[in-house]
């Protein structure tokens, strides 16, 4: 079974706020394919389920291992905390009553997705990120493009790209501070450069600054596209 990404906080909150079971299911279906679990279903590590009880509903994610000594182990998606282990046979009884649903990746139209952001945006980012010299995680961006994005795992792609962007912003800020210190040292005479050396340094720094700003723009383009796709549940 191809597991769905863990529900984002806004999805969990929407499900919790919904008044009825049908409304909760509708909130989930806007982002996932939600299927009734069939009798004899094998509960798998990392899978997400929506369980309808008599007085309450639970959105849970299976732990690893999911089954230990005939009991299921899972975390509450709402609280992010482990829940009390549940006898497998008891949950299978709920399955027989059509009370258990499994969340699967929602089928998406690549053409519709590509109207928002396509592979080319990642390729442009990879090129500008390499030129900036401030992104050591180029391999991660390539992985996101060729694996998570192509396979429709957009939430995971977004999370990975946000981490890469935060690292880039931090290194860009450090570079700006370093250049400012160097200019101050030059002005004070602490750092002595010949006119030719100074011209070459400023030319080199200016060119890299252009690459850094281009990389920032390409990062923001990819992130905006991924956020839009995730918000639309594509």
Spell out the domain ranges in the chain: 9-105, 110-231
Give the separation between CA 77 and CA 62, rounded to whole angstroms. 10
Give the separation between CA 139 and CA 130, rounded to whole angstroms. 11
- Candidate CATH numbers 2.30.30, 1.10.3470, 2.60.40, 1.10.10; the one for domain 9-105: 2.30.30
| CA nearest to 171, candidates 136, 139, 203, 138 | 136
Residues in contact with 89: Cβ distance below 8 Å, sequence separation at least 6, in sequence order: 70
Is the entire prediction scored with pTM above 0.85?
Answer: no
Length of the chain: 234
| Secondary structure of residue 29 in the 3-state scheme | helix
For 72, list phi and psi in degrees, rounded to 5.
Answer: -85, 140
Per-residue CA distances from 74 to 62, 64, 93, 115, 189 (Å) = 4, 8, 18, 38, 64
Give the separation between CA 119 and CA 222, rounded to whole angstroms. 10
From first to last of its 234 residues, the chain has per-residue pLDDT tens of 677 778 888 889 999 999 999 999 999 988 888 999 999 999 999 999 999 988 899 999 999 999 999 999 999 998 889 999 999 999 999 999 999 999 998 777 788 888 999 999 999 999 999 999 999 999 999 999 999 999 888 888 999 999 999 999 999 999 999 999 999 999 998 999 999 999 999 999 999 999 999 999 999 999 999 999 888 777
**Residues linked to residue 83 through DSSP beta bridges, in sequence order:** none
């Amino acid at each position: 079974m191809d597991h769905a990404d863990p529900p984002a906080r806004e999805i969990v909150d929407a499900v919790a706020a919904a008044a009825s079971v049908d409304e909760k299911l509708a909130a989930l279906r806007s982002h996932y394919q939600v299927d009734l679990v069939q009798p004899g279903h094998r509960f798998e590590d990392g899978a997400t389920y929506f369980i309808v009880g008599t007085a309450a509903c639970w959105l849970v994610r299976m732990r690893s291992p999911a089954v230990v000594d005939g009991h299921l182990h899972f975390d509450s998606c709402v609280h992010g905390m482990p829940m009390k282990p549940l006898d497998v046979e008891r949950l299978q009884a709920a399955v027989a009553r059509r009370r258990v649903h499994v969340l699967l990746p929602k089928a998406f139209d690549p053409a519709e997705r590509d109207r928002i952001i396509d592979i080319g945006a990642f390729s442009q980012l990879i090129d500008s990120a390499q030129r900036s010299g401030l992104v050591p995680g180029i391999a991660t961006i390539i992985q996101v493009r060729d694996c998570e994005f192509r396979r429709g795992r957009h939430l995971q792609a977004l999370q990975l790209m946000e981490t890469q962007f935060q690292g880039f912003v931090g290194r860009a800020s450090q570079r700006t501070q370093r250049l400012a210190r160097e200019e101050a040292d030059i002005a004070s005479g602490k750092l002595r450069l010949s006119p030719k050396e100074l011209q070459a340094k400023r030319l080199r720094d200016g060119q890299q600054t252009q690459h850094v700003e281009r990389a920032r723009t390409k990062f923001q383009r990819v992130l905006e596209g991924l956020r839009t796709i995730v918000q639309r549940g594509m």
